[in-house]
Amino acid sequence: MHRTGIRRFHLARDVEEALSLLSAYGGGGALLAGGVDLLRGPPGQVEGMIDITGIGLSQVGEARGGLAVGATTTLTEILKNPAASAYVGGILCEVLRQVAVPPLRNMATLGGALVSAHPWGDIPTSLVALGAEVRWRGEREGKAPAEELYRGEFRGLFRSAVATEILFPPWNGAFAYEKIGRARYDIALLNSCCGVGIRDGVVAWARVAVGARPDRGERLPWAEQALVGQKPRESLWGEIQDLVQGQVEVGDDRRAGAVWRRHTAGVLVRRALIRAAEKAGR
Amino acid sequence: MKVTFNLNGGPQYLDVEPGEPLLWLLRQLGMKSVKEGCATGDCGACTVLVDGRAVRSCLMLAPQIQGKKVLTLEGLGTVDDPHPLQKAFLDSGAVQCGFCTPGMVLVAYELLLGNDNPTRDEVAEAISGNLCRCTGYVKIVDAVLLAAQWKREGRWR
């Protein structure tokens, strides 16, 4: 284990103090919530560590028919929360149960996963699929869909801002999450979060996201459009699988090859859609 | 910087370095059950309980435990007076080299505090973040289930 190079540690009392400290350190300060990524990095990158676990951002509750999760809420706290368990048939908990292992879930926070945004992460793919909105405090208060943040320079934003809350909208339908890793608790080689709403026997809305391609999870709008207005049936799921396998953008990395990812992306989307449609039809 | 916390039931008031990993601090305090394995949070050998939750002490900084309760294996039982969970590990043959055992016992302890009748799958899930290169896990799962049975029978202290 190497020396961390951290010279100062601050326990921030509120968001304002955290922002003030972050600003004072310039690029040498870092916000600490779960901390599962911070100490894995090379030493000497962080001069001042600013602990934000005591600034009142650890809570989960219903909001506007959906769910609001404070940024420093740990994954375990979310998993044990009744409102989170009930949200859209339990999709958030279905995802979080597949993130890492219990001791790391005891430490990791939803805001940390949002900001770290590992391309193989289960959470970014799900945030995008579920249409989550992120709120933050920097020089000004801001909010944006996670999907929009990930398309921009979000890492630069969170060097001078504190993510405060993640809002999950209500959905009249159901979602399902599929993931493939080398082992049950390993990071994803590929993942997919899909949702559908069914009205009058046809798909009224659809959300299809694929992550760890190896890039971070993104929605596939063309797959969603192909689903809307269609009657849920076995052949439809097969057609979407073929569509995804034909059009999804994938790549190689040291974990998996593009050929495997292209094929498997279609399979995961089909599996997720079948389960989501079953749940939505109940 | 000054840090006040509770270690295995006793108060501590110490000067720590701001960047000092909790793992180092605990070992300096004589908690040699807390092992450095991977130092990246993957192996679970450095697991301790902070406020009743299993965490990786290699990924925590010492100042983070300000005001918290820390439990290491030393706080659970001793060689002369092992906790029933430790005795279950011995009776089940769940210990070979012993390097992973403190972490295994502590994640099992966290599980059994909230669930004294876990399934094999729930035990496997609880220990999934702790690597053992010797036993193959079967006897560890057996040990946790035996300890759970003893807890249901009122044999825990």
Question: For chain A, which residues make up each domain, given as ranges?
Answer: 8-51, 60-168, 174-281
Residue A7, min C-alpha distance to chain B (Å)? 6
For residue B93, what is the domain's CATH number?
Answer: 1.10.150.120
Average pLDDT over residues A136-164: 95
Nearest Cα neighbor of B18 from A138, A21, A231 is: A21
B60·A35 Cβ contact <8 A: yes
Q: Are the C-beta atoms of A211 and A129 separated by less than 8 Å?
A: no
Residues in chain B: 157
**CB proximity B108 to A under 8 Å:** no
Per-state percent for chain A, helix, strand, coil, to nearest 5: 40, 25, 35
Helix, strand or coil, per DSSP, at residue B105: helix
Task: Specify if B24 maps to a domain.
Answer: yes
In this model, does residue A282 exceed pLDDT 90? no
Considering only CB atoms, A9 lies closest to which of B1, B53, B107, namely: B1
Beta strands B2-7 and B53-56: pairing type? Answer: unpaired
Task: Specify if B113 maps to a domain.
Answer: yes
The reply to whether CATH 3.30.390.50 applies to domain A174-281 is yes
Chain B residues lying within 8 Å of A38, measured CB to CB:
59
Q: Rounded distance, CA B83 to CA B156, Å? A: 8
Q: Rounded distance, CA A234 to CA A140, Å? A: 49
Q: Rounded distance, CA A52 to CA A56, Å? A: 8
- Asked whether residue B68 falls in the same domain as residue B91, the answer is no
**SS3 readout for A144-201:** EEHHHHHHCCHHHHCCCCEEEEEEECCCCCEEEEEEEECCCCCCEEEEEEEEEEEECC
Residues 67-106 of B with CB under 8 A from A: none
pLDDT of residue B28: 97
pLDDT band at A2 (very low <50, low <70, confident <90, very high): low
pLDDT of residue A185: 81
Q: Rounded distance, CA B50 to CA B56, Å? A: 10
pLDDT of residue A44: 75
Q: How far is CA B32 from the centre of its chain?
A: 12
User: Which of B40, B75, B110 is a domain's end point?
Assistant: B75
* Residue-averaged pLDDT of chain A: 95
Q: What is the ipTM of this complex?
A: 0.96
Percent of chain A at pLDDT > 70 equals 99
Tokens 């394995």 identify what position? B37
Nearest Cα neighbor of A270 from A230, A229, A241 is: A241
Chain A residues lying within 8 Å of B129, measured CB to CB:
100-104, 185
- Asked whether residue B120 falls in the same domain as residue B67, the answer is no
Q: Rounded distance, CA A198 to CA B66, Å? A: 51
- Asked whether residue B7 falls in the same domain as residue B36, the answer is yes
Average pLDDT over residues A125-138: 98
Other CB atoms within a 10 A radius of the CB of residue A238 amount to 12
The fold adopted by the segment(s) A8-51 is 3.30.43
CA distances from A115 to A112, A163, A191, B11 (A): 5, 8, 19, 36
DSSP state of A216: P
* Tens of each residue's pLDDT in chain B, 157 residues: 999 999 999 999 999 999 999 999 999 999 999 999 999 999 999 999 999 999 999 999 999 999 999 999 999 999 999 999 999 999 999 999 999 999 999 999 999 999 999 999 999 999 999 999 998 899 999 999 999 999 999 999 7
E runs forming strands in chain B: 2-7, 10-15, 47-50, 53-56, 69-71
Q: Rounded distance, CA A153 to CA A160, Å? A: 12
Nearest Cα neighbor of A20 from A43, A1, A48, A46 is: A48
What range defines the domain where residue B20 resides? 2-75
Q: What are the pLDDT digits (tens) for A220-245?
A: 999 999 999 999 999 999 999 999 99
- Asked whether residue B92 falls in the same domain as residue B33, the answer is no
Number of continuous H segments (helices) and E segments (strands) in chain A: 12, 12
Helix (H) or strand (E) holding B111: helix B101-114
A40·B41 Cβ contact <8 A: yes
Tokens of B110: 């966290």
Which has more pLDDT, A186 or B146? B146
For residue B15, what is the domain's CATH number?
Answer: 3.10.20.30
The answer to whether A8-51 and A60-168 have equal CATH topology is no
**CB proximity B4 to A under 8 Å:** no
pLDDT band at A1 (very low <50, low <70, confident <90, very high): low
Strand partners, B50: B53, B70
Task: Specify if B69 maps to a domain.
Answer: yes
User: Which of B13, B46, B75 is a domain's end point?
Assistant: B75
Architecture of domain A60-168: 2-Layer Sandwich (3.30)
Task: Specify if B114 maps to a domain.
Answer: yes
pLDDT band at A43 (very low <50, low <70, confident <90, very high): confident
Q: What are the pLDDT digits (tens) for B103-148?
A: 999 999 999 999 999 999 999 999 999 999 998 899 999 999 999 9
Which has more pLDDT, A40 or A93? A93
Residues 41-80 of A with CB under 8 A from B: 49, 51, 53, 76
Task: Specify if B157 maps to a domain.
Answer: no
**CB proximity A144 to B under 8 Å:** no
Q: Rounded distance, CA A129 to CA A116, Å? A: 18
- Asked whether residue B129 falls in the same domain as residue B92, the answer is yes
